[in-house]
């Protein structure tokens, strides 16, 4: 698919992520270096959240919007066979450099997670941590994930919470979230911020459930992530302070399974 045939928001996000990529090198390296997965802006260990299924060894897993691809690296170290797809050539260059630096290799593809080149029912699992989960249109990428998965296959995606999306100040894509509802919940879908060109996507919870079910998924868990009581905001990810995120969910992880 040439740039011209990509949807407008996919082109905008490619240009934006090629620009952001340099800022994600150091966080990417830190995450690649972790021996065990730790999720989201509070780096909560997998042993606390349990977002991954058991028995990953030997599974074919697609990471939708892999960025620097540290999630795929974690999966590869657990014996899975990950494949990463990302819309940004610059992010994929970082991912390739980390593969060489850390000695973990898996296929990486340039492409749009909303319309991938892979065959139907070709993966056991699909995953996205702030990749397609935030930056691709759910009305396109969720049905595509459903197409890619085998019957019984799992999908886990993590993104910032509906509540954060409602309470981040109007002019600040980066937050931090406040205590006032600033925009409507109903109808929440596409967001652009005045100070940036990128396009984000969020849905109300009821709409996520409707879309997931109509795309062939059953909901297993919605994990609303609570920051630890002593959490301190990392200024690189400033969507919410630790105090705020201890009281209210700043991130949410959806775990669903394709009907068999
Ligand atoms: C926060 S990063 C990826 C998350 C990854 N866990 C990381 O931090 O490196 C978001 C990624 O989503 C990718 N992305 C945005 N829209 C996409 C789309 N439609 N298809 C595939 N990737 C997309 C961007 O290019 C970017 O690399």
Query: pLDDT by residue (tens digit) across 188-243?
Result: 999 998 878 999 999 999 999 999 999 999 999 999 999 999 998 888 888 999 99
Mutate to test the pocket of ligand 1, among 18, 63, 86 (most ligand atoms within 8 A of CB): 86
The pLDDT value recorded for residue 22 is 97
Minimum CA distance residue for ligand 1 atom 16: 135
The pLDDT value recorded for residue 2 is 55
Look at residue 153 and tell me whether its pLDDT is greater than 60: yes
* Under 8 Å between Cβ of 242 and 230: yes
The pLDDT value recorded for residue 195 is 75
* Under 8 Å between Cβ of 68 and 31: yes
The pLDDT value recorded for residue 194 is 81
Q: What token pair was written down for 192?
A: 């652009």
Q: How far is the CA of 15 from the centre of ligand 1 (A)?
A: 12
> Tens of pLDDT along 66-111?
999 999 999 999 999 999 999 999 999 999 999 999 999 999 999 9
Q: How far is the CA of 69 from the centre of ligand 1 (A)?
A: 9
Q: How far is the CA of 205 from the centre of ligand 1 (A)?
A: 22
The pLDDT value recorded for residue 11 is 97
Q: How far is the CA of 215 from the centre of ligand 1 (A)?
A: 22
Q: Is the dihedral of CA 167, 231, 39, 154 positive or negative?
A: negative
Better pLDDT: 252 or 173: 252
Look at residue 1 and tell me whether its pLDDT is greater than 60: no
Counting from 1 in the atom list of ligand 1, the atom nearest the Cα of 88 is 25
Q: How far is the CA of 25 from the centre of ligand 1 (A)?
A: 13
Q: For residues 18 and 91, give the distance between their C-alpha atoms in angstroms, rounded to a whole number.
A: 7
Q: For residues 203 and 162, give the distance between their C-alpha atoms in angstroms, rounded to a whole number.
A: 7
Averaged over 145-167, what is the pLDDT?
97
* Under 8 Å between Cβ of 48 and 36: no
Counting from 1 in the atom list of ligand 1, the atom nearest the Cα of 68 is 9
Q: For residues 19 and 76, give the distance between their C-alpha atoms in angstroms, rounded to a whole number.
A: 28
Look at residue 3 and tell me whether its pLDDT is greater than 90: no
Look at residue 49 and tell me whether its pLDDT is greater than 80: yes
Averaged over 170-182, what is the pLDDT?
85
99 phi and psi angles, rounded to 5 deg: -60, -45
Burial class of residue 132, CB neighbours in 10 A (0-12, 13-18, 19+) = buried
Burial class of residue 218, CB neighbours in 10 A (0-12, 13-18, 19+) = exposed
Mean pLDDT of the chain: 95
């Amino acid at each position: 698919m040439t740039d011209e045939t990509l949807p407008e928001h996919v082109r905008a996000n490619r240009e934006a992520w090629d620009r952001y990529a340099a800022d994600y090198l150091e966080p990417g390296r830190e995450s690649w270096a972790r021996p065990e997965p730790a999720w989201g802006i509070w780096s909560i260990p997998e042993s606390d959240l349990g977002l991954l299924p058991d028995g990953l060894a030997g599974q074919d897993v697609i990471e939708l919007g892999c960025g620097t691809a540290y999630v795929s690296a974690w999966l590869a170290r657990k014996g899975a066979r990950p494949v990463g797809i990302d819309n940004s050539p610059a992010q994929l260059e970082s991912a390739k450099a980390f593969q060489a630096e850390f000695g973990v290799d898996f296929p990486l593809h340039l492409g749009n997670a909303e319309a991938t080149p892979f065959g139907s029912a070709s993966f056991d699992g699909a995953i996205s941590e702030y990749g397609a989960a935030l930056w691709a249109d759910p009305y396109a990428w969720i049905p595509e994930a459903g197409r890619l998965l085998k019957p019984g296959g799992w999908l886990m995606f993590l993104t910032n919470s509906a509540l954060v999306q409602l309470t981040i100040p109007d002019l600040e894509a980066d937050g931090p979230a406040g205590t006032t509802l600033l925009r409507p919940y109903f109808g929440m879908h596409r967001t652009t911020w005045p100070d940036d060109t990128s396009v984000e996507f969020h849905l109300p919870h009821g709409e996520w459930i409707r879309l997931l079910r109509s795309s062939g998924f059953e909901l297993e868990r919605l994990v609303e992530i609570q920051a630890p009581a002593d959490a301190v905001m990392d200024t690189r990810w400033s969507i919410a302070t630790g105090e705020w995120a201890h009281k209210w969910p700043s991130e949410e992880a959806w775990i669903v399974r394709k009907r068999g």
